[in-house]
Amino acid sequence: MTISPELIARATELRDLINKHNYLYYVTDNPEVTDSEYDRLFAELKQIELDYPELVTADSPTQRVGGQALDKFSQVTHALPMLSLDNVFSADDFAAFDQRVRDWLNTKQTQRYAAEPKLDGLAISIRYEQGILVQAATRGDGAVGEDVTVNVRTIPTVPLKLVGDTLPDVVEIRGEIFMPKDGFDKLNQAQLAAGKKPFVNPRNAAAGSLRQLDSKITASRPLAMYCYGIGEIKGIPAPESHSDAMTQLEQWGCRISPELQQVEGLQACLDYIDYLGKKRDDLPYDIDGVVFKVDSVALQQRLGFVSRAPRWAIAYKFPAQEEMTTVEDIEIQVGRTGALTPVARLKPVFVGGVTVSNATLHNEDEIRRKDVRVGDTVIVRRAGDVIPEVVQVVLSKRTEPSFQFVMPNVCPICQSEVERTEGEAIVRCSGGLFCPAQRKEAIKHFASRKAMDIDGLGDKLVEQLVDAGLINDVADLFDLTVEQLASLERMGEKSAENLVHALDNSKHTKFARFLYALGIREVGEATARSLANHFLTLEAIESANEQDLIEIEDVGSVVAHHIVTFFQQTHNRDVIERLIDVGVEWPQPQKIESDSKLNGKTVVLTGTLEHLSRSEAKEKLLALGAKVAGSVSTKTDYVVAGRDAGSKLSRAQSLGITVVDETTLIDWLK
């Protein structure tokens, strides 16, 4: 069969592209494409070479590992090469891998694998002689890496000396250097405060930090390491399984992933993928998949290698959290408090498990700093529940002419002038409640789940109601009739009745919810709760002055000022009065027993509770004056650990925080 010239040209193009991206990624730390785009190019080339083996060339990136070492660090030849991993992206492909392993071993028996997170950092090999750290090298091209010994020595989790009695004469410890998420956030805040460019993601930050010629800079960066393998080992017998190797490493004082597990058979592997996928966002560091390794070293040796990767291991990749797409437009959204937010309208892209077509550009400063322009190719990131973000423009793909984005001087909705407060990045529409956008947002907020929780009153409907002139403020909602609602487009009689019913139900609420629903600037759920618990009645809050308000925890002078100003406005007082008149009511909160053990304490709930739902437990804790936090820090007083508690529990233990079980919690709540 003859090969078409197009295909030959494509293979050449792919080879050049991948080699270029390898260089940008490994050598300059300045990638132009996301990992997933790179994986796709690689997969395409691999497929072509598989279909037409005559197209494989000696310089094809499929035939060697990674890129070259930087010449600013001296070079190190690894005693044993540092390999790469093949990837799979679906359960079916994983099943095919498992089948291949069993076919190769000529067995029908289920396989035992070691399963662990695929950490998103950089591979490192650290050589210990007689237990002393003598050299640390990056992976480089797998055979030769860069000598980063002085930098690695600065990483607190890397032992400078191994501990224990059974130390080998020589051991190369392999692992991943990464930057935990909280450290990354802090580093980026500091970068911004110093007028420096923030890092795009924790992986880039870790790579940039490790490749510093000045090790003092590395020392100031929050790097960590987990070990996941052993290279050369001399003087003691090599471990018989991956799990044994990990236990041995722990005994020598190295850190290994707490998520490491032995799993047997296909189903257990798929369950582990599911388990870790669900946990991904809660882990304190970025992972991009799961690595499975045939546990037995004897079997690993029988399986061997193919060019760049072992046959006994595979990486199951999770959906990418970064993707590339283009900015089709930049629009301005006007928020509840009048803030003008630029939003990028994107060519829809599948990232972080969902299709994303909008990403906030935050404010004028941000848009200027990133210099995002209409037509630009950008990298979009969506991790967990976090709002999708444009992290970087791919400048090399910008086509001329392109124009810097300019914030408008008038509100795009009501044409009122915009106001810029000195020292604030945000510009606001000065139209107040005259601006339909602000009115709509205030009503959406009032109806939202954590506020008045009006079932069936979604964002679209609020827009329709305001546009049709049926409502102007939140009090108008309660005068709506079934006939008026039923006259709206896409609204039947039944839905109209349901909505009137839901509006009626929502009148019986809680004081804190009502306060939050009012949409006072800077008054979030927690502040609303503190206000309700402290003042107990609306009258008390209305007549409080700034001094009275500052007494409350969480309320500073800015918030106090916003609260006082809110209640001074006749319009706001009028709306509140009308709400009370139509029957909005709440039971008066109980004064918190200050002798409760939980008063003022910060509690974190983790794992599955058997007798209480999360929200019940939270409500009860709040009612006793406790704060309920989402993550464990040194400020945490108690961690309540239910079934299958994971990283939060281990973090609590490592910080020496009191951990209690559900029974104790129920006891306390009595």
The catalytic residue positions are 118
Q: Give CA separation, 599 vs 526, 554, 563, 622, 655, in Å.
A: 15, 15, 25, 9, 22
Question: Of 206 and 617, which CB lies nearer to ligand IVH in the complex structure?
Answer: 206
Measured between alpha carbons, how far is 39 from 380 in angstroms, rounded to an integer? 17
Q: Is 466 helix (H, G, I), strand (E, B) or coil?
A: helix
Minimum CB distance to ligand IVH, residue 313 (Å): 5
C-alpha closest to that of 206 among 229, 227, 228, 187: 187
User: Quick one: which of 11, 123, 359, 414 contacts ligand IVH (CB under 6 A)?
Assistant: 123
Peptide bond into 401 cis (omega under 30): yes
Binding mask 27-56 for ligand IVH (x = CB under 6 A): ------------------------------
**Does residue number 116 form part of the binding site for ligand IVH (CB under 6 A)?**
yes
Question: Of 242 and 428, which CB lies nearer to ligand IVH in the complex structure?
Answer: 242
**Does residue number 291 form part of the binding site for ligand IVH (CB under 6 A)?**
yes
**Does residue number 286 form part of the binding site for ligand IVH (CB under 6 A)?**
no
Minimum CB distance to ligand IVH, residue 66 (Å): 8
Strand spans (E) along 48-111: 75-77, 87-88
User: Quick one: which of 22, 60, 84, 151 contacts ligand IVH (CB under 6 A)?
Assistant: 84
**Does residue number 137 form part of the binding site for ligand IVH (CB under 6 A)?**
no
Q: Is 35 helix (H, G, I), strand (E, B) or coil?
A: helix
Minimum CB distance to ligand IVH, residue 120 (Å): 7
Convert 299-358 into a string of H (helix), E (strand) and C (coil). HHHHHCEECCEECCEEEEECCCCEEEEEEEEEEEEECCCCEEEEEEEEEEEEECCEEEEE
**Does residue number 61 form part of the binding site for ligand IVH (CB under 6 A)?**
no
Binding mask 306-345 for ligand IVH (x = CB under 6 A): ----x--x-x------------------------------
User: Quick one: which of 15, 21, 78, 118 contacts ligand IVH (CB under 6 A)?
Assistant: 118
Measured between alpha carbons, how far is 430 from 415 in angstroms, rounded to an integer? 9
Whole-angstrom Cα Rg for the chain: 29
Which residues are within 8 A (CB) of 444 and not within 5 positions of it... i.e. 6 or more apart? Answer: 336, 459, 462
Convert 420-436 into a string of H (helix), E (strand) and C (coil). ECCCCCCEEECCHHHCH
User: Is the Cβ–Cβ distance between 618 and 583 less than 8 Å?
Assistant: no
| Angle, helix 91-104 to helix 266-279, in steps of 10 degrees | 140
Question: Of 34 and 636, which CB lies nearer to ligand IVH in the complex structure?
Answer: 34
User: Quick one: which of 38, 128, 199, 228 contacts ligand IVH (CB under 6 A)?
Assistant: 228
Measured between alpha carbons, how far is 333 from 358 in angstroms, rounded to an integer? 12
Question: Of 260 and 512, which CB lies nearer to ligand IVH in the complex structure?
Answer: 260
Please list the residues that pair with 587 across neighbouring strands: none
- CA angle centred on 321, ends 368 and 293, rounded to 5°: 145
Minimum CB distance to ligand IVH, residue 101 (Å): 14
**Does residue number 146 form part of the binding site for ligand IVH (CB under 6 A)?**
no
User: Quick one: which of 17, 119, 137, 378 contacts ligand IVH (CB under 6 A)?
Assistant: 119
Neighbours of 448 (CB within 10 A): 17
**Does residue number 176 form part of the binding site for ligand IVH (CB under 6 A)?**
yes
User: Quick one: which of 14, 17, 45, 85 contacts ligand IVH (CB under 6 A)?
Assistant: 85
* Size of site (CB under 6 A) for ligand IVH: 15
Minimum CB distance to ligand IVH, residue 294 (Å): 11
User: Quick one: which of 229, 342, 431, 642 contacts ligand IVH (CB under 6 A)?
Assistant: 229
Choose the binding region for ligand IVH from 78-86, 126-134, 265-273, 550-558 (rule: CB under 6 A). Answer: 78-86
**Does residue number 259 form part of the binding site for ligand IVH (CB under 6 A)?**
no
Q: Give CA separation, 564 vs 348, 421, 474, 551, 598, in Å.
A: 44, 19, 20, 14, 30
Question: Of 238 and 425, which CB lies nearer to ligand IVH in the complex structure?
Answer: 238
Question: Of 145 and 431, which CB lies nearer to ligand IVH in the complex structure?
Answer: 145
Q: Give CA separation, 427 vs 301, 423, 444, 563, in Å.
A: 64, 11, 21, 21
Measured between alpha carbons, how far is 61 from 462 in angstroms, rounded to an integer? 55
Residue number closest to ligand IVH, CB atom: 123
**Does residue number 225 form part of the binding site for ligand IVH (CB under 6 A)?**
no
Choose the binding region for ligand IVH from 77-85, 196-204, 269-277, 401-409 (rule: CB under 6 A). Answer: 77-85
φ/ψ of residue 369, rounded to 5: -65, -45
**Does residue number 662 form part of the binding site for ligand IVH (CB under 6 A)?**
no
User: Quick one: which of 15, 139, 362, 534 contacts ligand IVH (CB under 6 A)?
Assistant: 139
CA dihedral 365, 367, 371, 375 (to 10 degrees): -160
Give contact residues for ligand IVH (rule: CB under 6 A).
83-85, 116, 118-119, 123, 139, 176, 228-229, 291, 310, 313, 315
